[in-house]
Amino acid sequence: MLIHTRSVAHKVFEVWRSPGRFTKNPDLTVLPSGRYMLIYSDTDAHWSLKNQVLTILASDDGGKTWFKFREIDRADLTQGEERLVTPRLSLLNDGRLAAIIDHNDDTHFHEDQPPGNWIYWSSDQGGTWTKQTENGIMGFEPDRILDLPDGSLACATHLMRGDQQEYAQILYTSEDGGQTWQERATQAYDGYYRYCEGGVIVMNGGKRLACIIRENHSGGNPSFVVFSDDHGHTWSKPQMCPFAFHRPYGKQLADGRIFVTGRHVNGGLGCYGWVGDLEAEAGTHVIGGPRRKYKAELTPDALVIHNQIEHEARYTMLPAESPLSTLLFEAEVRVEASRPEATVAFLSLSAIGEVLEIAPDGVYLWRGRNRTMAKVDMTQFHTLTLDFKRGWLQVKVDGETKIHKRVFRDVVGGVIDFHGGNIQKRTQFGQLGDSGRSYWRRVRYAIQNPTLDDYQWEWSAASGEWPDQYQRDRLIQIHPNHPEQQPNPDHGYSSWIQRDDGVIFFVDYTNCGDVPNSSHLVGVFIDPEDLA
């Protein structure tokens, strides 16, 4: 596993296991008595096909040990009932507990479909619950219900807008204590980015709201953040975050910094955290690092990657908007291998699905089922360039075009799941193959997009920094998961609370080490010095 310079993975302990079941999507709150309360959906699989139990756990020793407190509701798909998916739990200012959970995504994802978010209310610290099935909150994967400074309640969800057939992040509010809800604002929507799973943060004593949003194309896209200074009626233009998390969960710490946790999708697998000044760093994009273990060293002359079996030293760039973008991807590099034709390294452009393979005897580009080769002594440093403009891809060696390729505008690229295994669908450079070495002196990347902002990035080994230096310095690995976990690594819908002494109690689900269709809950006590 990839371990960044900061990690608390050694502190992970098991919170709860439901034998043979999938413990899905936990969320935490603290009662006035000091009791910790946790909600999760107890299911037969990640995407349940049989039944679900909306379950409450409780802890009276600060999260060290847990016991089953209540079952709030059950759903049985075999009896025609709708699937319970992702719960959230809140303690409101008036003392009530509010649990919200969405239903089957397929029947509630679109703005023309009916609402599917049910709310359960408790006025006796979770002893009894009243179910509210009609409320008007559209969409799915809701955020927790929270009190806004203007006295209203708020809940963020996402749904598909029909005009562009893409997700929009929406804020719903209630002026009558949660009995009825109305759409207050669209928080983020542009028809391109797939905004979803936004989490609202009340900042600076209520003077400002932030909403940190998952971008569901992944493939190198980061999370986004929007801000509101009028209690959520209007929101700023979405800005990139210096992290890429699914289901980002954030709150403001006692010292004023924002702490965000979530499923890391642009580097090492597992749940990671970021802490910092969100307002100051909004708009920052950073390069993604390797997702697996890797062997590499940074010398004054080059980043040296040693290819080995089950190693994967690849660095992920921001994807271009589309095949109508103009792209330049350039690297000064050389390779070594035991065979002249052995592929050692690569450059890829996700927007057009092209991969330039680098071997000691030259560079290779696929044309359908055939590889086109430009013979070059790549055991010596050369500058390789992928130059794409207006449907014409040129592969250049030291400025001279060696390979041409036409690219049609209807090429499909860019979209990928969070495992990130297909290099055609990510813009990357680094290791390809399990033997040999590559030496990278410098890399340059630039995008000119039709409608999105342009982008450029440069790196050189002479800087003394790794390509993913920001992630190495600033991201915190909370708990890992192996990329070969079957059927896939599954984790990252996290929650946490901060105690008066500054210690954070964190909880998440994970299938790390579990048999398929099962998972368990894990916890971590994160000390203030872990976030220094």
Per-residue pLDDT reduced to its tens digit, 268-312: 999 999 999 999 999 999 999 999 999 999 999 999 999 999 999
The CA radius of gyration of the chain, in Å to the nearest whole number, is 24
- 190 and 90 share a domain? yes
CA distance 169 to 156: 7
**What pTM was computed for the model?**
0.96
Are 346 and 358 in contact by the 8 Å Cβ rule? The answer is: yes
Question: What does the block give as tokens for 152?
Answer: 């209203």
Give the end of a domain, one of 467, 482, 503. Answer: 467
Is the alpha carbon torsion for 317, 323, 324, 327 positive or negative? Answer: positive
Query: Taking CA 322 as the corner, what is the angle to CA 318 and CA 324, rounded to the nearest 5 degrees?
Result: 125
CA 487 to chain centre: 19
Domain range for 230 is: 9-289+473-531
Give the model's confidence band at 2: pLDDT under 50 very low, under 70 low, under 90 confident, else very high. Answer: very low
Question: What does the block give as tokens for 39?
Answer: 């909600």
Q: Is the pLDDT of residue 420 over 50?
A: no
Q: Is residue 3 part of a domain?
A: no
Query: Taking CA 17 as the corner, what is the angle to CA 42 and CA 494, rounded to the nearest 5 degrees?
Result: 70
- 412 and 486 share a domain? no
Give the model's confidence band at 425: pLDDT under 50 very low, under 70 low, under 90 confident, else very high. Answer: confident
Taking all residues of the chain, what is their mean pLDDT, rounded to a whole number? 95
Q: Is residue 1 part of a domain?
A: no
Question: What does the block give as tokens for 313?
Answer: 């030293």
Predicted pLDDT at 447? 98
- 266 and 366 share a domain? no
Predicted pLDDT at 367? 76
Question: What does the block give as tokens for 73?
Answer: 């509701």
Are 414 and 219 in contact by the 8 Å Cβ rule? The answer is: yes
Q: Is residue 4 part of a domain?
A: no
- 331 and 426 share a domain? yes
* Domain CATH code at residue 171: 2.120.10.10
Q: Count up the domains in the chain and report the number.
A: 2
Point out the least confidently predicted range of 243-257, 320-334, 417-431, 466-480: 417-431
Predicted pLDDT at 412? 56
Predicted pLDDT at 368? 72
Q: Is the pLDDT of residue 413 over 60?
A: no
Give the end of a domain, one of 467, 489, 519. Answer: 467
Q: Is the pLDDT of residue 466 over 50?
A: yes
The arithmetic mean of pLDDT across residues 93-103, rounded, is 98
- 453 and 478 share a domain? no
- 404 and 480 share a domain? no
- 162 and 43 share a domain? yes
